[in-house]
Amino acid sequence: MSTPHNAANSGDIAQTILLPGDPLRAKVISERFLKDAVQFNSVRNMYGFTGTYEGKRVSVMGTGMGMPSIGIYASELVKFYDVKNLIRIGSCGAITDKTRIGSIVMAQGACTDSNFAHQYDLPGTYSAIASYDLLSKAVESARSRKFDFEVGNIVSTDIFYNETEEWKKWAKMGCLANEMESYALYCIAARAGVNALALFTVSDSLVTGEATSAAERENNFTGMMQIALDVAASL
């Protein structure tokens, strides 16, 4: 069945899906890595494709920016399309001087300044974590490919242009980077009893002020894509 945001029919989407924020990155992945890819969605230009990678059926779809946006797409994927493995791939901003531009960050857990988990009416603060199975497979892939990577906590924030330097406080707690979606993704996956993992390429540094271009973010962050596809192929 289709939804207001997704034109896919039942069976069009694989049980494992890669979720870049940028729909154009989804298109790049489908063209560069997937065999016999078929487009299943273009509603709101949020492109989605399904093909095969190393003989395994894999989908890729954009989610947009921020927790409200990924919340819509991830919720529909698990509720209406029976997706079991959701792997976010995107960019992040380093908040420590040890996390370098171009390196890969794997989000073992996600902290947040968002109220996203309020909907679950929990009696405390929810710690959103990745699927250990997906994370361990990602680490194995990164090591075998000899990629530069880190595993640790990240911060999912609702604010892109922040008037304060709150990131410094998160850095003191050992967090590696900022982004805007993964806490919501991990909450949705936990509530649905499915697997989720977030992988990032460091696109800029709040510490040094270094940054990559929009074109580089769209086309060149292939390491995390290869790791995500390795994980998908192993499932």
Residues tagged active-site = 204
Rounded Cα gap, residues 133 and 211, in angstroms = 32
Give the number of other CB atoms < 10 A from CB of residue 139: 16
Residues in the chain: 235
Q: Are strands 48-53 and 35-41 parallel, antiparallel or unpaired?
A: antiparallel
